[in-house]
Amino acid sequence: ALKAGIVGLPNVGKSTLFNAITQAGAESANYPFCTIDPNVGVVEVPDPRLNRLVELVVPKSIVPTAFEFVDIAGLVAGASKGEGLGNKFLAHIREVDAIVHVVRCFQDENITHVAGKIDPIDDIQTINLELILADIDSVDKKIERSRKNLKGGDKKVVQEVEVLERVKEALYNDMPARSLELSDDEKLLIRDLHLLTMKPVLYAANVSEAEVADTDNNEFVNKVREFAAAENAEVVPISARVEEEIAELEGEDKAMFLEELGLAESGLNRLIRAAYKLLGLYTYFTAGVQEVRAWTIRSGTKAPQAAGVIHTDFERGFIRAEIVSFDDLSAAGSMNVAKERGQVRLEGKDYVVKDGDVIHFRFNV
Ligand code: GDP
């Protein structure tokens, strides 16, 4: 399963946010693929399309799709030189597919800031520098090894060194590897390095309880927005402390609390959706009277492999897929009307599943 790692300097609110995530807790019986680990929290992806399908089908059960957040505490300045538990944490970051970088935007004199002042950009750059230094180390070593192979004249090695040199130059200019425009082939050449600064990032701007309803005019958040815009990254303003409280509530209590705060939905929901998008994931649905369920695939997945997410037997015995887009089904109001309108298609094994497809698989057992 894909994972998003939560990183940030000490005392910015990572644990608080992670608590909210585990409190909100997914029904783990539904997600047997998920890791059981105190540093991993499973979250369900809120999706209004799922609610609409439930209206249309009225199923016995509803299962949203889910992914994992990993709490990667302890990243401090000097980590790449082995400060603190440096290398161990960098190794954890290497294993995640995307990074949620928590940045302190709340002022509270009782809570020490490691640098002695609130300066979100400085904080971001401190962490980024550690990741860049760690990547420089990987790239330098790799270039050295590849150079030795260059003598063989292998064209692939030549290309690889070329790409590595470009990455190196970016890193030495304090730019993350993801800021380079690399083709898919070029990315493939350096994939084995699992560069930390190649991973997609979003910034979670942790604001105080008092400021949660209006973050548009928050000076700190706006600085983060400006910084993030330059690297095409998204910013999710959130109050970790408020989220911790929200996560303890349910149903009407939750709705009332959100209303009091002036929020349409929890910040956690917004964060989950943003992280899901960052991971580059698509959702397709199955909608039967027993169960309406959302499933996760990577973009570009073909129908049999998408079926395989449900069960390997579905992939092995795949015959055809009966597919209607969510939008068509929602507008039609029922599967029968969608069929009358000719919107339900039969697709074969080469069909590339789209985000929002509602699918009924036909397979041999
Ligand atoms: P971590 O070191 O990044 O995991 O930070 P923690 O989650 O442990 O938070 C550090 C301190 O900041 C704790 O005492 C939290 O209660 C506090 N904190 C976290 N978020 C907020 C917030 O939005 N407002 C205020 N006032 N305090 C917060």
- Give the domain CATH number at 87: 3.40.50.300
Examine the domain organization and report whether 320 and 219 are in the same domain: no
C-alpha closest to that of 238 among 14, 64, 51: 14
Could you give the number of structural domains in the chain? 3
Q: Which amino acid is at 88?
A: K
Q: Is ligand 1 within 6 A of the CB of residue 237?
A: no
Among 197, 232, 248, where does a domain finish? 197
The Cβ of residue 137 has, within 10 Å, a number of other Cβ atoms equal to 14
Domain final residue pick, 197, 225, 243:
197
- pLDDT tens digits along 88-144: 778 889 999 999 999 999 887 777 776 677 899 999 999 999 999 999 999 999 999
Classify 331 as helix, strand or coil: helix
323: CB partners within 8 A, 6+ apart: 344, 345, 346, 347, 351, 357, 358, 359, 360
In this predicted model, what pLDDT tens digit does every residue of 220-250 receive, in sequence order? Answer: 999 999 999 988 899 999 999 999 999 999 8
Q: Answer yes or no: is 12 a known binding residue.
A: yes
Which residue range is the domain that position 213 belongs to? 3-46+65-118+199-278
Q: Are residues 325 and 350 in the same domain?
A: yes
pLDDT number for residue 80:
67
- Residue among 35, 43, 37, 36 nearest 17 (CA): 43
Domain containing 186 — which CATH number?
Answer: 1.10.150.300
What is the pairing mode between strands 357-363 and 318-325? antiparallel
Do 109 and 135 fall within a single domain? no
Question: Could you tell me if 23 and 83 lie in one domain?
Answer: yes
A 10 A CB-CB count for 281 gives 19
**Looking at residues 5-10, what average pLDDT do you find?**
92
> Residue 19, annotated ligand binder?
no
- Predicted pLDDT of residue 39: 87
Question: Where is pLDDT greater, at 335 or 85?
Answer: 335
Is residue 85 predicted with pLDDT exceeding 60? no
Q: Are residues 204 and 100 in the same domain?
A: yes
Q: Is the CB of 16 under 6 A from ligand 1?
A: yes
- 121 CB near ligand 1 (under 6 Å): no
112 lines ligand 1 (CB under 6 A): no
The alpha carbon of 10 and the centre of ligand 1 are apart by a number of angstroms equal to: 9
Q: What is the mean pLDDT of the chain?
A: 90
Distance 12 CA to ligand 1 centre (A): 6
Taking a C-beta distance cutoff of 8 angstroms, is the pair 329, 338 a contact?
A: yes
Asked if residue 29 belongs to a domain, the reply is yes
Q: Residue 199: exposed, middle, or buried by beta-carbon count in 10 A (0-12, 13-18, 19+)?
A: buried
- 158 and 39 share one domain: no
In a domain, 140, yes or no: yes
Q: In Å, what is the CA distance from 152 to each residue of 148, 186, 192, 198?
A: 8, 20, 21, 29
CB atoms near residue 58 (< 10 Å): 9
Rounded mean pLDDT of 150-171?
A: 88
